[in-house]
């Protein structure tokens, strides 16, 4: 069953058009990845879905209802959560205080203690650093905290923008392993990622975005066997 559908969306910044009819469908309880080169429009698509950019045309449906023009804070209350590129943590606040900031909507507040225990189990280092300021964490720890803060919001759909950006390979493996654990909990996930091989390896279904358009889609095993994907994105 589709929980989120993006249909023929165009969008951009000012007069500069970035998306030229992008579309994808997220099946409930599945991990879907969106891959593509730098400048393909991946982050723009996420910002448009979240309501941080207004779509110029097309439609965005959540559980079958058009919420293209719904403001971002209302989408967050409905369970659409974005872990943004660059983390955007409150660097002068502690780990726990950042996690508290993730649990401010009406859906998440009653489940704060359960979700805190959940993220500490998933990211033991966050428990160890609970009273440490976010700005003093390593890059990998900050990314863990950004994802954990997203989980604290009790998401129906969790969108993660560039999980592995700028991180050492060992930390990348740890984060992707955490993503596989998270998938087992039943959260619907949309992963935007430049590490195409890792993204396809953990996902159920994938989309390739090129120059603001949805170029290819399919089960990830099918995409990994696609000659264009192998040549252009996997270096094979």
Model confidence over 52-66: pLDDT tens digits? 999 999 999 999 999
Q: For residue 88, tell me if it sits in a domain.
A: no
CATH number of 47's domain: 3.40.50.300
User: 88 with 39: CB under 8 angstroms?
Assistant: no
Confidence at residue 162, expressed as pLDDT on a 0 to 100 scale: 92
Q: For residue 236, tell me if it sits in a domain.
A: yes
Residue whose structure tokens are 């007069």? 15
- Domains in the chain, number: 1
Q: For residue 11, tell me if it sits in a domain.
A: yes
Q: For residue 90, tell me if it sits in a domain.
A: no
Q: How confident is the model at residue 31 (pLDDT cuts 50, 70, 90)?
A: very high
Alpha carbon 195 to its chain centroid, in Å, reads: 14
Reported pTM: 0.93
Q: What is the mean pLDDT of the chain?
A: 93
User: Is residue 106's pLDDT more than 90?
Assistant: no
CA gap 22, 2 in Å, rounded? 17
User: Is residue 101's pLDDT more than 80?
Assistant: yes
Mean pLDDT of the 185-201 span:
92
Q: For residue 86, tell me if it sits in a domain.
A: no
Q: For residue 60, tell me if it sits in a domain.
A: yes
Confidence at residue 107, expressed as pLDDT on a 0 to 100 scale: 85
User: Is residue 236's pLDDT more than 80?
Assistant: no
Q: How far is CA 102 from CA 8, 93, 153, 213, in A?
A: 31, 13, 5, 32
Q: Where on the phi/psi map is residue 157: left (φ > 0), alpha (ψ -120 to 50), or beta?
A: beta
Confidence at residue 85, expressed as pLDDT on a 0 to 100 scale: 87
Task: Return the beta strands (E) in 14-85 as ranges.
Answer: 16-27, 31-35, 57-62, 65-66, 80-83
Q: For residue 51, tell me if it sits in a domain.
A: yes
The range of the structural domain enclosing residue 61 comes to 1-79+156-167+190-236
Mean pLDDT of the 105-119 span:
91
Q: For residue 73, tell me if it sits in a domain.
A: yes
């Amino acid at each position: 069953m589709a929980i989120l559908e993006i249909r023929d969306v165009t969008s951009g910044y000012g007069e500069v058009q970035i998306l030229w009819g992008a579309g994808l469908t997220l099946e409930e309880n599945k991990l879907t990845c969106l891959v593509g080169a730098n400048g393909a429009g991946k982050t723009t698509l996420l910002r448009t879905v979240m309501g941080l950019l207004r779509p110029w045309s097309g439609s965005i449906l959540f559980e079958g209802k058009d919420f293209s023009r719904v403001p971002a804070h209302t989408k967050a209350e409905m369970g659409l959560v974005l872990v943004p590129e660059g983390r955007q943590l409150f660097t002068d606040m502690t780990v726990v205080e950042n996690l508290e900031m993730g649990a401010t909507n009406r859906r998440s507040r009653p489940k704060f203690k359960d979700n805190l225990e959940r993220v500490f189990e998933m990211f033991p280092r966050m428990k160890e650093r609970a009273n440490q300021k976010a700005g003093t964490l390593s890059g990998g720890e900050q990314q863990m905290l950004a994802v954990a803060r997203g989980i604290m919001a009790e998401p129906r759909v969790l969108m993660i923008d560039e999980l592995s950006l700028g991180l050492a390979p060992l930390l990348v493996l740890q984060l992707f392993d955490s993503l596989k654990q998270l998938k087992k909990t039943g959260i619907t996930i949309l992963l935007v990622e430049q590490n195409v091989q890792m993204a396809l390896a953990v996902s159920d279904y994938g989309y390739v975005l090129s120059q603001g358009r949805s170029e290819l889609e399919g089960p990830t095993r099918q995409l990994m066997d696609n000659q264009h994907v192998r040549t252009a994105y996997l270096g094979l």
